[in-house]
Homo-oligomer: A and B are copies of this chain.
Amino acid sequence: MASDTEGASRRGRGGRSAKRAQRDAARSVAPAYLTRRIGYVDLLREEELDRIVHHSDRILAEVGIEFRGDPEALALWKGTAAEIDGERVRFPKGMLDRIIAENVQPVFTQHARNPARSVQIGGDHTVFVPAYGPPFVRDLEGGRRYASLKDFENFVKLAYMTPHLHHSGGTICEPVEIPVNKRHLDMVYAHMRWSDKPFMGSVTAPERAQDTVEMCKVLFGADFVDQNCVVTNLININSPLVFDNVMSSALRVYAAANQCCIVTPFILGGAMGPVTIAAALAQAHAEARVGIALTQLIRPGAPVIYGNFFSSLSLKTGAPTFGMPEPALSYLAIGQLARRIGVPLRCGGSLTASKVADFQAAQESVDSLVPAVQSGVNFVLHAAGWLEGGLVMGYEKFVLDADRLGMMARYLEGIDLDDNGFGMDAFAEVGPGNHFLGCAHTMANFETAYINPPLTDSESFEQWHDGGEKDANMRAHERWKAMLDSYVPPEIDPDRDAALQEFISKRKESMPDAWH
Contact = CB atoms under 8 A, between A and B. Distances in A.
A169 B400 CA distance: 33
A455 interface: yes
Nearest to A350: B363
A407 B323 CA distance: 9
A277 B436 contact: no
A177 interface: no
A361 B434 CA distance: 31
A432 B64 contact: yes
B279 A423 contact: yes
A133 interface: no
A282 interface: yes
Interface in A346-371: 353-367, 370
A437 interface: yes
Contacts of A433: 66, 68, 238, 240-242
B358 A473 contact: yes
A451 B420 CA distance: 45
A271 interface: yes
Nearest to A404: B363
A510 interface: no
Given A411-B328, A449-B326, A355 B469 contact: yes
Contacts of A270: 436-437, 442, 446, 449-450
B435 A272 contact: yes
Contact of A356 (B366, B374, B471): B471
A39 B39 CA distance: 14
A325 interface: yes
Contact of A273 (B63, B65, B273, B436): B436
B48 A417 contact: yes
A233 interface: no
Contact of A464 (B333, B355, B364, B460): B355
B314 A452 contact: yes
Contacts of A362: 358-363, 366
Given A39-B43, A241-B432, A326 B423 contact: no
A449 B267 CA distance: 15
Contacts of A476: 359
A431 B272 CA distance: 11
Given A321-B450, A355-B471, 20 more contacts: A41-B374, A66-B432, A88-B432, A240-B434, A240-B435, A242-B432, A272-B436, A277-B421, A278-B416, A278-B417, A278-B421, A279-B426, A316-B458, A321-B452, A325-B410, A326-B450, A354-B471, A359-B359, A360-B455, A362-B362
- The 8 A-B pairs of least Cβ separation, nearest first, read A362-B362, A278-B421, A241-B432, A325-B411, A279-B423, A274-B423, A312-B450, A359-B472
7 contacts: A88-B432, A274-B423, A277-B421, A315-B447, A360-B455, A363-B400, A370-B370
Interface of A: 13, 17, 38-39, 41-44, 48, 51-52, 55, 58-59, 62-66, 68, 88, 144, 238, 240-242, 269-279, 281-283, 312-317, 319-321, 324-326, 328-330, 333, 353-367, 370, 374, 388-389, 391, 400, 404, 407-408, 410-411, 414-418, 420-424, 426-428, 430-437, 439, 441-442, 445-447, 449-452, 455-461, 463-464, 469, 471-473, 476
